[in-house]
Chain A
Amino acid sequence: MKCAPFDYVRAASVEETVKVLGEADGDGKILAGGQSLVPVLALRMARPAVLVDVNRIPGLSSIRRIDDTVEVGATVRHSRLAEQTEHPLLAEAARWIGHTAIRSRGTAGGSIAHADPSAELPVVAVATGATVTVTGPRGSRDVDAEELFVGALTTSIEEDEMITAIRFPQPDRWGFAEFARRHGDFALVTAVVTEVRGRPRITFGGVGSVPQRAAAAEQALADRRPAAEIAHIAAEEIEPTADLHGSVEFRRAIATEMTRRALAQFDSVREQSR
């Protein structure tokens, strides 16, 4: 099917984007990579009056290291994230996003804003304690990733605001494991184990409406419990939902294995750094 008609604005700045969104009064959408938005438009599940194309705004497509964080501009493509060496966890996660032709267009800001529960970047954002910078008519604000995701495809970003950058702390150690039916498909379960600023985090994607942390499993990791035990605690703690692709039991079993694999990678990083 074809998209419904819309007005197209090629924004030259963040300020212009925010202004156009404000004037659209809730009927505007930001067009970045379009890999999630355009299918929704093509199926006419959404028919915004205005699309603001942010792809050519200067200054939004850089990757910069700032102290112990890596700042990723909103329009950085997944293919570039996969190639960069500043943040190896981010690179690994980006390699799991869609297929080559999707990664060449899809953007970091778009993926965070879309907030798909089985997408990779939202999980990594929560797993590293990332901060998302959002600009609107009331100025800029920083939002913790954990507070940004409020439900499936729903964030706390207002309709007249725009993500400009995401700051991902560099974990001291990390492990990433994902299970999908075919490489490039949405994850059934993603498990990310990190140690950020001395604190362990265990985060899951694909098992609920937002990325979920497993607090009891994190405590077990801090207490240096065996990996099998931590994986079991984590899988019991999360609350997966059943769908066409797998029952709750199946997802728990996969979560156990993905946690075990992520923990193995997490430990191997520690051994290398000794």
Chain B
Amino acid sequence: MKISFSVNGERADLDVEPRRTLADALREDCGLTGTHLGCEHGVCGACTILVDGEPVRACLMFAVQADGASVSTVEGLQGTDGELHPVQEAFVACHGLQCGFCTPGMLMSACHLLDTRPDADRETIRAEMSGNICRCTGYQGIVAAVERARADMRDPAGPGEGPVHPWEVTFSEE
């Protein structure tokens, strides 16, 4: 079936079998292997992308359903000048990743969260990010990174207010 959609602002014209998931189409037909597949049945969140601005499990949507849609993947986060997105910067600074497999989905979920709720508190961040599973159990650094990105995105010029390292985070309220 012939379809076309936009990926990170560029048009993609594909001819796919209806059973091909959007995740597979992105990886294999568009060559965008940043979107990772973990469980392939909607549990782990590694394949989270944005479709028309909404977070979506790319393994639970067929490519044919994306016909005409606007898709954003982790590859689109980096600026045209190669500069990392503030959320990516924060993941680097706060050790928000260990093996990195879940990271693309984490980044897309975090970007959507901070876009829609720029004032999200720590509790909200923890609840929202719980939809993405990290098998290295690196959650502390991930939550710290999202908090730092929140601060950086509010005040791009100033230094990050968020904790730099996960071990600087205090857990007294938990």
Contacts and interface: CB of A to CB of B under 8 A. Distances in A.
A15 to B, nearest CB: 21
Interface residues of B, number: 29
Interface stretch (B58-66, B75-83, B156-164): B58-66
Given A99-B130, A100-B112, A100-B128, A3 B60 contact: no
A39 B62 contact: no
Interface stretch (A101-109, A231-239, A252-260): A101-109
Interface stretch (B41-49, B87-95, B140-148): B41-49
Interface of B, secondary structure class, is: mixed
B17 A105 contact: no
A100 B60 contact: no
A105 to B, nearest CB: 6
B41 A42 contact: yes
A39 B60 contact: yes
A88 B92 CA distance: 41
A5 B64 CA distance: 13
Contacts of A2: 19, 21, 24, 40
A133 B65 CA distance: 25
26 contacts: A2-B19, A2-B21, A2-B24, A3-B19, A7-B18, A10-B64, A34-B60, A34-B61, A35-B57, A38-B61, A39-B41, A39-B43, A53-B65, A55-B65, A99-B128, A99-B131, A100-B55, A100-B128, A101-B45, A101-B55, A101-B56, A104-B56, A105-B61, A183-B127, A183-B130, A184-B127
Interface of A: 1-8, 10, 31, 34-35, 38-39, 42-43, 51, 53, 55, 79, 98-102, 104-105, 182-184
Interface of B: 1, 17-19, 21, 24, 40-43, 45, 48, 54-57, 59-62, 64-65, 109, 112-113, 127-128, 130-131
